[in-house]
Amino acid sequence: MDTKTEKAWVKLVEETILELLQDMDGILKITNRMSWIFYIGNWIARRKLKKSYEYYNRMLWLPILHKNICDFKFIRRDPLKSVHRSQRKQMFSSQATTTNDDGILILGSSVAWKMKVHIEVIHNETIKPSSPTPHHLRHYKLSFLDQISPPVFMPLVLFYPKEDCTNLTNSSEQSNRIKKSLSDALTRFYPLAGRVKSNLYIDCNDEGVYYVEANVDCQLHEFLEDPIPAELNKFLPCALDDGNELPAIVQVTLFSCGGIAVGLGISHKVADGLSFFVFLNTWAAIARGDSDIASPRLDSAKLFPPKALTGFEPRTGIVKENIVAKRFVFDASAIAALRAKYTDNTSIEHATRPTRIEALSAFIWSRFMASTQPKSDPNKIYTVLHAINLRTRLDPPLPNNYFGNISRIAISVPSMDADNRCSDIVNQVRNSIRDVNVDYVKKLQESEGHLNFMKERAASISKGEVVPFSFTSLCRFPIYEADFGWGKPVWVGSARLTFKNLVTFFDTNSGNGIEAWVNLKEKDMAKFERDEEFLTLNRLKKSVSETLTNFYPLAGRVKDNSFINCNDEGVHYFEAQAKCQISQVIQQPEPAQLNKLLPYELDNVGELVLAIQVNVFDCGGIAIGVCISHKVADALSLAMFLNSWAATARGVSNTICPRFDLATLFPPRNISGFKPSTGIMDKIVTKRFVFNASMIAALKAKYIDNASVECKRCPTRIEALSAFIWSRFVAATTQGKLDPERLYTVLHAVNLRTRMDPPLSECYFGNISRFSIATPCMDSKGECHGLVNQMRDAIKTIDGEYVKKLQEGNGHLNFMKERAEKITKGDVLSFSFTSLCRFPLYETNFGWGKPLWIGSCSLTFKNLVVFMNTASGNGIEAWVNLKEADMATFEGDEELLAFATPTRY
């Protein structure tokens, strides 16, 4: 940026601050540095200065704004808290750490700049049917259900990236395909090319569909980073409440990158949501060149004959006051938590679990009531409405291609308990939907009762006696199947509607989550979106992003085994559905199957530092799988990150701040000739053996040092289990006879923090551990009574002097090289133990309680045992990793089975 431009931006910032100081609303928003930054950024966006988004995105005025905008593929740390230049490279303290991931299983977003766009219309016309409509079809009667439907457009905007349009040479060819296929589709759906007359019929005069082509001054990915619902209205050719005569409207918008948005509006006067998608996907199929296309049924007026609507106005509910639309995304884990929250457990044998839509409806309505209606007015009736497809409720059922409004509203009057938690709303909604049955439809067809009810209800709403809250779901509809020949849409959105208290549900593009498009009055939205319980629901992704601000190296990428480029590329975050009950996993956990709950193979690390997978079970339970590269962290560092993340999710503000200056204590070295991946193998079998408290006590007694009668030395739990497992491994795999030509070693991971002088704080992050090495001997009975003392003595040598030598010279590196060579040749057989017992893993509470169980998985090292506390804390689980042949003999050892309970499959 040149000096002139820089001065202009400095001046702009000064002007911004002056104007903000004159804006009381703005002053209230500037409560901390983050809010200040948000507000300035949004204000500058509203100034619509040339290339303002580009300047914002490229961080041309430091340090107020940070360059990274949210990328939905990754979870990034908070983009407004920039990394100081001295922190851009996080040096490794030692490059000798292995590069596989530590996997841990716990059972139990970044902020993006909201972009406004400028649309330039370049062409408009009307698209007529490719074949004229026959004269005898000129008048298309509206059904009774059409008559009472509001004359507003139902909007949908489909976004297609450029890379999916490679079979078309240019935008003109795309436009021609869209127009020609639309013209052909209108021959089948001829009422959409006509004009609505007097709320009685459509004059199918082939006047055509209003069609607009436009350009937008941004790239598709920029707009999709965090789309504003009101901005999507610009991708439609007219206002949504301008649908008096027009049945349908279309706008095709071309992005500067070559991406396309197809905006479609169909008047609710002539169609419901299912009919909308029948038309849309027929149109797309014609564009693709499909030949086997079903034609719509256009005789709904025979099923629901029109009536005289004297005294009823279909526009009731359409408001001109300022309606604000916001889009809230519920991921799979949040939905699972809500389904569990609203499960009816009054019957232990038959617990009734709500559907996704029932759970979300109950939650959103309860939060709306709690935030905007803290005290219910006894003179008002609060109702919850759900749109219901009648096609499946007729006798006989109608096919999906029956076109028109063949849907009605189920109405429930929910009750609130003392805590405003709507404990019974799911059952009330379900019962109201159940009442929309065959008998209901017959009455709807035959009598005037429904019309009279609609008149009375409209009057009550107008007087304020009834407060309705409506839900309509487009989930499970073929919303992402509209392929015009250049691929399916990358995202589909709605727009800001003209009804207050209306929520539309969409599937996310992955199909796992749900987007809730909420339309409220401005003052109600201001309260609703600040509701504390509402905001904490999607706490996992938001809190990991916030945690990465403190643990910033975890969002970077490892480079050349020398440093981490702290470039905020982000953490890979996955959501998955586990097609089983969580109890099935916990009752008989199989280590190899638990790897499926992790995002990657443990030896497939590459440059990644951290990856997370959230798994949702059929019962609503959640398993959080976390992989952190051993290249950058030891087990204590992993536990530190997990508990900091969980504390952030709970809303705790004073979380631990990690120290990342380990490379100053253990400077990196040239490690040429040493491979950190030595020991990583294929076809390792992992089994889990559980030692209860009584068996551990027996083993401690077994290995007690009786050398001194006066001062008997009792081994720790880990010492006793290590000696026992090692002895049973030797007995099972060597028949108790050690090879005199081979060196046998027993290794224990030792935390160096407490052994340095002075000791380090536990907040030091990284690999601050080494292995103590003991060379055990076997007695005549194949036991290892002396091993406890040998292990203890080996651990004692890991002291301040040991650490100083580790810091100062190359002796340890030379030892590692020699040892790796001997292991490779088979001259040394190592057996390693690492203990996670006493680590605060079971304290990891994300806000919905502590984990039910924590497990490891199948690792990639042979002869490795990981100790973990049982859920009760009294026992210990030993996760044993051996070669397949060794495991076959080890797990059958009779003495082992006398003390340990193995996992059976």
Phi-psi region of 331 (alpha: psi -120 to 50; beta: other; left: phi over 0): beta
The number of angstroms, rounded, from the C-alpha of 37 to the middle of its chain's C-alpha atoms is 26
232 CB-near residues (< 8 Å, 6+ apart): 155, 157, 263, 493, 494, 495, 496
Cα separation, 609 vs 555, in Å, equals 7
**Torsion sign (Cα): 764, 765, 766, 769:** positive
What is the rounded CA–CA span in Å between residue 414 and residue 463?
Answer: 21
Strands 407-412 and 514-521: unpaired
Decide if 366 contacts 422 (C-beta within 8 A). Answer: yes
SS3 522: helix
Q: Are 275 and 155 in contact (CB under 8 A)?
A: no
The one-character DSSP state at 600 is S
C-alpha–C-alpha distance, residues 852 and 874, integer Å: 15
The continuous run of DSSP H or E covering 693 comes out as helix 693-702
Edge-to-edge order in the sheet of strand 74-75: 74-75, 571-578, 610-617, 622-629, 101-107, 854-855
End-to-end CA distance of the chain: 65
Cβ within 8 Å of residue 126, ≥6 positions away: 207, 208, 209, 210, 211
**Among this protein's residues, is 483 annotated catalytic?**
yes
- Return the number of other C-beta atoms located less than 10 Å from residue 337's C-beta: 25
CB-based burial of residue 489 (10 Å sphere; 0-12 exposed, 13-18 middle, 19+ buried)? Answer: buried
Contact 586, 107 (CB under 8 A): yes
Q: From residue 284, how far is each of 185, 210, 290, 402, 469 by CA, in Å?
A: 9, 18, 9, 18, 34
* Nearest one of 576, 558, 535, 503 to 371, comparing CA atoms: 535
Between CA 60 and CA 64 the distance in angstroms is: 9
Active-site residue among 272, 331, 483, 524? Answer: 483
Cβ atoms within 10 Å, residue 887: 20
* Spatial separation of the C-alpha atoms in residues 827 and 819, rounded to whole Å: 9
**Which among 268, 386, 450, 630 is annotated as catalytic?**
268
Contact yes or no for 61/49 (Cβ under 8 A): no
Using DSSP bridges, classify how beta strands 153-160 and 491-493 pair: parallel, antiparallel or unpaired. antiparallel
Q: Which residues contact 320 (CB under 8 A, 6 or more apart)?
A: none
Integer Cα distance of 124 and 42 in angstroms:
33
Q: What is the DSSP letter of 705?
A: B
Check if the beta carbon of residue 337 is closer than 8 Å to that of residue 386: no
Q: Name the phi and psi angles at 726, rounded to 5.
A: -60, -45
- Taking the C-alpha atoms of residue 745 and residue 833, their distance in angstroms, rounded to an integer, is 11
Burial class (CB in 10 A: 0-12, 13-18, 19+), 711: exposed
- Other CB atoms within 10 Å distance of the CB of residue 364: 23
Q: What are the catalytic residues?
A: 268, 483
